[in-house]
Structure 1
Amino acid sequence: MRKEKLKVLLVEDDRIEVLKLQRSIAKDLDNYELTLATNGKEAFERIEEDMPNLILLDLNMPDTNGIEFMQIMKGRDELLHIPVIILTTSNNERDIHECYKLGIAGYVIKPLKYEDYEAKIKAIFRYWSLNEFLNY
């Protein structure tokens, strides 16, 4: 069992998507610490302030998109251990292939129906809360 809260960095520029995720985990906030960034540059600033256990990353963002963010991140040895889950509306096969090539831990397409979205988010958070790798 985890001793500390799961520290999650959400990199998302759409305020509605941020609110949806916050609502999805609201009942379990005792187990999670959520940090927000609206673009890649801000995400790297947040990572330097407090290293997350997990990054949830949107692909379509201003400044630095998700793939560019991953390319930069995977070039930094001190960040290679952080699992990244792509959380996006894109089901483009090229995006999916490129993200896995860059070493993501998962690719989740945001469903339109809120109940389906909430179920996916809770599953992600539950899984990574139980993952022993994050305890080290």
Structure 2
Amino acid sequence: MSSASLKPVLVVEDSAEDFTALGRAFRKHALQNPVLRCVDGDQALEYLQGYGRHVSWPAVLPAIILLDLNMPGTDGRQVLETIKQDEVLSTIPVIIFSTSSNMKDIDECYQLGANSYLTKPIEYAALEEKIQLIVRYWLEAVELPVA
């Protein structure tokens, strides 16, 4: 799939500062896809399980999901587990994008069905590099399901 299909990229991130930095990095790498933000796991599941039914959400599922792990309320692990157990949602690539580099977190996320796990870098230049890799691989290089 190429980014020409313009399916949204869903970022589930509770930190406004982190989301702003991600948005800047996506723009720098000329991402054409709309970038949606959910501020917590509950909002992400509301969109994903109700897409097309809520006027404020797009009527299409995202191409990929960048999912933070540690959020208030429904955390990233619970969101990941719910997505991967849902017949419709399970084919959406979920990329965990977390500050945690704890091997227990990494192992647990892959056991729950994560497609990739990336540690959020502290420095902006390193963040840009990771975003470029995400865009090039997940939105330009790989073939994703149509659904």
Tell whether the structures are fold-level matches, with TM greater than 0.5. Answer: yes
Q: Which residue of 1 aligns with 2:61?
A: 51
Residues in 2 aligned to 1:128 and 1:100: alpha-carbon distance in whole angstroms? 17
Residues in 1 aligned to 2:125 and 2:7: alpha-carbon distance in whole angstroms? 23
1:1-136 aligned at under 5 Å gives the runs: 2=2, 3-27=4-28, 28-29=30-31, 31-47=32-48, 48-49=50-51, 50-130=60-140, 131-135=142-146
% of aligned pairs identical?
A: 39
Residues in 2 aligned to 1:5 and 1:79: alpha-carbon distance in whole angstroms? 18
Task: Give how far 1:45 is off.
Answer: 2.1
Residues in 2 aligned to 1:135 and 1:77: alpha-carbon distance in whole angstroms? 14
SS at match of 2:36: strand
Query: Per-residue displacement from partner, 1:3-57 (whole Å, max 9, x unpaired)?
Result: 311421000000000000000011414x221111011110022223231110000
TM-score calculated relative to the size of structure 2: 0.85
Listed as ranges, the gaps of 5+ residues in structure 2 are 52-59
Query: Per-residue displacement from partner, 1:75-123 (whole Å, max 9, x unpaired)?
Result: 2111110110000000111110000001111100011111001110111
Q: Which has the higher helix share?
A: 1
Q: Which has the higher strand share?
A: 1
Listed as ranges, the gaps of 5+ residues in structure 1 are none
Distance change (3 Å), C-alpha of 1:134 and 1:118: farther
TM-score calculated relative to the size of structure 1: 0.91
Residues in 2 aligned to 1:6 and 1:118: alpha-carbon distance in whole angstroms? 21
* 2:91–2:145 contact (8 Å) kept in structure 1: no
CA RMSD of aligned residues (A): 1.5
